[in-house]
């Protein structure tokens, strides 16, 4: 799903000058990965390629269930494991695995299969998003405005995501021992900002600190289809 809206720019005062961030929208791609997974590096590399595009919002969520096999992933968060498990349960699956990509909150693909991933991106980008989002930032205050552009009714969950654009790790044990891995768009915070009654437009302010990119995701529940997403980076 790609939201066809105009790019929004804003200026944030910084010491020595002004920083300009641009709003982009696109299909959310969640990669569930682990430093301790020998099958994950090809998917991690694919996410790097996707991170250079402006029609997708790729996010790396490191999970903790491989920590017992010799290398503890210091980027992992049990909450991300729980999110992946919730997606699996919603899809009727009994197990979770890495590398897995969840695209648009709907479609599950083995993360090391680039053609399948690209086909899903094309399909999702061809669909208009049901929710239109605009964001602006002034200092530590983020303003989020959203409205439905299709016949969407009921409650939607508005989530605020922060990530680090790139992190390098030297892995000395486990399945990837001896490798130096550069990970991109590594999520460290995923919080529910509010539950929104979509029968009326949304205007919301949130406190955000630091210069890391900000992603707003509007979703049908916390494990349903993503209705709209935008980021400032």
User: Given this model, what pLDDT does residue 150 score?
Assistant: 81
> Which fold does the domain 9-232 belong to in CATH?
Glutaredoxin (3.40.30)
Residue in 73, 232, 66, 97 with CA at minimum distance from that of residue 163: 232
Contacts for 3-6: CB closer than 8 Å, 24+ residues apart: 3/128, 3/129, 3/131, 3/132, 3/133, 3/228, 3/229, 3/230, 4/128, 5/132, 5/133, 5/134, 5/230
Distance CA 22, CA 5 (A): 12
Q: Residue 12: its pLDDT value, please?
A: 36
Predicted TM-score (pTM) of the model is 0.90
For 50-82, write each residue's pLDDT tens digit: 999 999 999 999 999 999 999 999 999 999 999
d(CA 64, CA 96): 12
Say which residues have a Cβ less than 8 Å from residue 53's Cβ, sequence separation at least 6.
Answer: 26
> Higher model confidence: residue 220 or residue 20?
220
Domain ranges of the chain: 9-232
The pLDDT score that the predictor gives to residue 20 is 56
pLDDT band of 22, cuts 50, 70, 90: confident
- The number of C-alpha atoms within 13 Å of 230 and in the hemisphere containing its C-beta is 26
Over residues 89-146, the pLDDT tens digits come to: 999 999 999 999 999 999 999 999 999 999 999 999 999 999 999 999 999 999 999 9
């Amino acid at each position: 799903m790609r939201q066809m809206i105009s790019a929004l720019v804003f200026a944030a005062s910084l010491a020595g000058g002004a920083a300009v961030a641009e709003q982009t929208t696109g299909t959310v791609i969640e990669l569930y990965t682990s430093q301790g997974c020998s099958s994950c590096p090809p998917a991690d590399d694919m996410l790097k390629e996707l991170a250079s595009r402006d029609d997708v919002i790729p996010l790396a969520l490191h999970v903790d269930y491989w920590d017992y096999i010799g290398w503890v992933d210091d980027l992992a968060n049990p909450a991300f494991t729980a999110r992946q498990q919730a997606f699996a349960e919603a899809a009727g699956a009994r197990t979770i695995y890495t590398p897995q990509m969840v695209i648009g909150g709907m479609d599950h693909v083995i993360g090391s299969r680039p053609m399948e991933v690209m086909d899903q991106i094309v399909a999702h980008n061809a669909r208009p998003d049901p929710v239109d989002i605009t964001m602006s930032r002034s200092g530590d205050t983020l303003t989020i405005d959203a409205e439905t552009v299709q016949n969407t009714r009921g409650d939607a969950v508005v989530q605020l995501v922060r990530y680090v654009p790139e992190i390098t790790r030297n892995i000395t044990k486990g399945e990837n021992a001896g490798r130096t891995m550069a990970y991109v768009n590594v999520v460290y915070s995923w919080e529910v900002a509010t539950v929104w009654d979509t029968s009326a437009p949304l205007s919301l302010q949130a406190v955000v600190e630091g210069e890391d990119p900000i992603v707003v995701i509007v979703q049908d529940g916390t494990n349903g289809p993503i209705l709209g997403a935008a980021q400032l980076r």
